[in-house]
A = this chain, B = another copy of it.
């Protein structure tokens, strides 16, 4: 181990951390061409322009009969119009007083300019009876109704949703250039941890913080590659990191990054030939012991092990790393609620830091109040009870009851299917 490589703990401001993260994310960013049906929820690495009108031909918007509107002018219930039902395969162009059956979403035959719904006509063998004039263009989707040739449909950095895939498919755009989702491996560190519920007790506890971080990785836009445990042992940590490096862009350690006697992660990392520490410590509270290093072209995020710190470190450091690598803004856009603080909060001794605090929103009359929840980072209860969180900038030493604050939704996956 080459302990000279380890930089000392020094809490750096978030804006400096973000600058460093941006540089590193460029190394792990990569793009690829994917078949359209594999590109869902991937982020575009190119602008996409529309190469042809969509639809390129008029499309029926009803199950019915494509006809020429001009033929139907005199149709009425008293004087039904008889049209000859022909097969599409027998016609390149619809003739006078002819009708062709079309399903919703199918192109009209040439010559037809309207569709009469199947339930509005009487069919008799090879002919139909029409009881009212059909308006030109009725039940027809006009050429270009969905997209115009030359139009920019999606900007680079747009995340492709299912409906986007549908449109691109209609346009015949079958391959797209996207950012690869960064592969992220997790290593949770501690002699006391197990993932096997039968081993719980007798000094072993169930590892659960990896579940939190793996959910966050998905919300941020990464892809979980591995999720291992390591003992408080340099050799074991080294082996787990080595394995994780093989098939990940980012390795995340949870725990063991504080300044306690048993903190072996920085020491272990320094033993890798190409290791480089960017920072150990950020000016956030909780999460102040979060660190960042590189090993060659791979990034290594050191998250603290108490749940509120783990969340905060993930939010401020892991999130922008995953997102910058896909040309996305640093932080997921959250819904925000303006609320009135219902208690004083004292940030001593962290007034110089960016604070992340969880709040429970409560509605009284027409006002929304934000009740601060405990900032003791060991307590999962604050996340459980939280409606959302606020970021309180450095320089704020306290906030008084009655202050209006902005509360952001917890990353959405946490209540995506919540009642």
Contacts and interface: CB of A to CB of B under 8 A. Distances in A.
Given A59-B378, A260-B118, A163 B35 contact: no
B418 A333 contact: yes
A403 interface: no
A383 interface: yes
Contacts of A167: 380-381, 384
Residue of A162, A175, A195, A328 contacting most chain B CB atoms (<10 Å) = A162
A261 interface: yes
A161 to B, nearest CB: 5
A380 B161 CA distance: 11
Interface in A227-282: 258-262
A146 B416 contact: no
A196 B262 CA distance: 54
A133 to B, nearest CB: 17
A145 B377 CA distance: 12
B174 A197 contact: yes
B416 A376 contact: no
Contacts of A209: 166
A84 interface: no
A417 interface: yes
A212 interface: yes
A63 B259 contact: yes
A101 interface: yes
Contacts of A21: none
B36 A104 contact: no
Nearest to A386: B163
Contacts of A207: 37
Given A146-B379, A197-B35, A378-B141, A165 B208 contact: yes
Contacts of A376: 61, 141, 145
Interface in A34-76: 35-37, 40-41, 59, 61, 63
A147 to B, nearest CB: 7
Interface stretch (A10-18, A213-221, A340-348): A213-221
Contacts of A418: 159, 332-333
A159 B416 CA distance: 10
A61 B378 contact: yes
A169 interface: yes
A320 interface: no
Given A40-B215, A174-B206, A261 B104 contact: no
A305 interface: yes
A119 B163 contact: no
Which of A163, A328, A384, A419 has its CB near the most chain B CB atoms (within 10 A)? Answer: A163
B260 A103 contact: yes
A2 B285 CA distance: 69
Contacts of A384: 161, 163-164, 167
A92 B381 CA distance: 30
A200 B226 CA distance: 36
Shortest 9 CB-CB contacts between residues of A and residues of B: A63-B260, A162-B212, A163-B383, A221-B417, A166-B380, A166-B208, A169-B206, A162-B211, A35-B197
9 contacts: A36-B208, A37-B197, A61-B376, A63-B258, A104-B258, A105-B306, A165-B211, A166-B209, A174-B197
